[in-house]
Structure 1
Amino acid sequence: MAPLRISFLIRSVYDILRSNANLVRWRKKDDPTCPLCQGRQTTEHVRSSCEVALSQGRYTWRHNRVLQELASVISATEGEIHPSSMSSTVFTTEGGVKKWHGG
């Protein structure tokens, strides 16, 4: 895994990412509010709790990018990378099949 990804994961787990709430705690900023919903912007809020980000599909986009990365790594491991097949990847969701177009 790339060092920056490992660093992000560790900082995320220990809640030491640069959220507005942490910046206020570290006395680098005066306002802990989320620019999207005006709630308190914590690491958890940014990752999964902002109602505005949810309604705009931002979490779905991020989730799909993670799935695309996983599919890419699995394909590379199997030695079966086909760039044309990576442009649209089909994932099975809880409610059925959803087609997601990469890009």
Structure 2
Amino acid sequence: MAPLRISFLIRSVYNLLPSNANLVRWGKKDHPTCPLCHGRQTTEHVLSSCKVALSQERYTWRHNRVLQELASVISTAKGQFNPPLPSFTIFTTEGGAKKWRRRSNTAST
């Protein structure tokens, strides 16, 4: 794993990422507010609980990018250098129901 990724993981576990709440605690900022929702911006808030980021599907985009990276690494390890992308994506909604979303024809990766 790359050193920067390891550093990010360790800093996130120990709440040492530069969220606005931490910057206030460290004397680097005056206000701990989130620029999107104006709530208190903690590490948890940034990574998973900002309501505005959730409504704008920012977490969904990040989730999908992580899954694409995992699929790429697994495919490379199996000797498949250009894995085919499925024509649809399955999401699980907050209540647990499955939601199918057809992939647009303009997407090319």
TM over 0.5: yes
* Other-structure match for 1:77: 77
* Other-structure match for 2:95: none
TM-score by length of 2: 0.81
User: Using the alignment, how far apart are the partners of 1:102 and 1:37 within structure 2?
Assistant: 33
Listed as ranges, the matches of 1:19-58 within 5 Å are 19-58=19-58
AA matched with 1:22:
N
Count of equivalent residues: 100
Percent of paired sites with the same residue: 68
**Structure 1 residue runs without a partner (length 5+):** none
**Structure 2 residue runs without a partner (length 5+):** 93-97
Larger relative contact order (Cα-Cα within 8 Å, sequence gap ≥ 6):
1
User: Using the alignment, how far apart are the partners of 2:50 and 2:108 within structure 1?
Assistant: 24
**Higher helix proportion (structure 1 or 2):** 1
* Other-structure match for 2:6: 6
1:68, 1:102 within 8 Å by CA — same for their partners in 2? Answer: no
**Comparing 89-98 with 35-44, which one deviates more in the overlay?**
89-98
2:80 aligned counterpart, secondary structure: coil
User: Using the alignment, how far apart are the partners of 2:8 and 2:37 within structure 1?
Assistant: 24
User: Using the alignment, how far apart are the partners of 1:10 and 1:68 within structure 2?
Assistant: 23
User: Relative to structure 1, is the Cα distance of residues 102 and 73 closer, same or farther in structure 2, using a 3 angstrom cutoff?
Assistant: farther
How large is the RMSD of aligned CA atoms in angstroms?
1.9
